A and B are shown apart, each in its own frame.
Chain A
């Protein structure tokens, strides 16, 4: 399966601390995307990193990609209570009829305590 597998499954931190979530996948990708989901709500796209990129930033988010290790990480700096949510990585298939198809793992549940 191509789906991303996030680690840890749950993360609990204090406001102001940094949160790091990891993702591993199995086969070739075109890109890898990170999404956030607040409880009972839809998914919100956070950041997309292409297979030829190693690092990408967006505000307080920093994503890295290591295609040799088939892994990615999402770092949220200076976390806020509003960052409390589930975070999913979604590798996008590299080729064939499944090109660009996203598959999701179980996610990391992040809790930021005020």
Chain B
């Protein structure tokens, strides 16, 4: 399968713990995006990369969130000291610049 994959698909953690999610984009795609989605809402932009460079990070994103894309391939999104408000679906998407984005299945995070 050459689509976007995300791992894990589900994560349950306790408040205060750190979590890390991984996204494997379509191999030739140079753009990689992270979004967060809560029930009844559209995807909320978090950050995106072009190759290994992080081009923009949402102002809504606290310093507990960090993302990397080493070597311009897979990406990781880490949330430190999780809070209950972090519970959401975390979506990754990849694309070539100016073309349609392919979304992964998402990682559903529940913070207890």
CB of B7, distance to nearest CB on chain A (Å): 14
Q: Which residue of B43, B95, B98 is within 8 Å of A43 (Cβ)?
A: B43
Q: Report the interface size class on chain B.
A: 20 to 34
Complex-state Cα separation, A48 to B99, whole angstroms: 8
Q: Which 9 residue pairs are nearest across A and B when measured between Cβ atoms? A: A104-B42, A43-B103, A45-B100, A42-B105, A104-B43, A42-B103, A100-B97, A106-B42, A48-B100
Residues of B within 8 A of A (CB): 31, 33, 35, 40-45, 48, 55-56, 91, 93, 95, 97-106
**22 pairs, A vs B, C-beta closer than 8 Å:** A31-B98, A33-B101, A42-B104, A43-B91, A43-B103, A45-B101, A45-B103, A48-B100, A90-B101, A92-B98, A97-B55, A97-B56, A99-B97, A100-B31, A100-B98, A101-B56, A102-B101, A103-B45, A104-B35, A104-B42, A106-B41, A107-B42
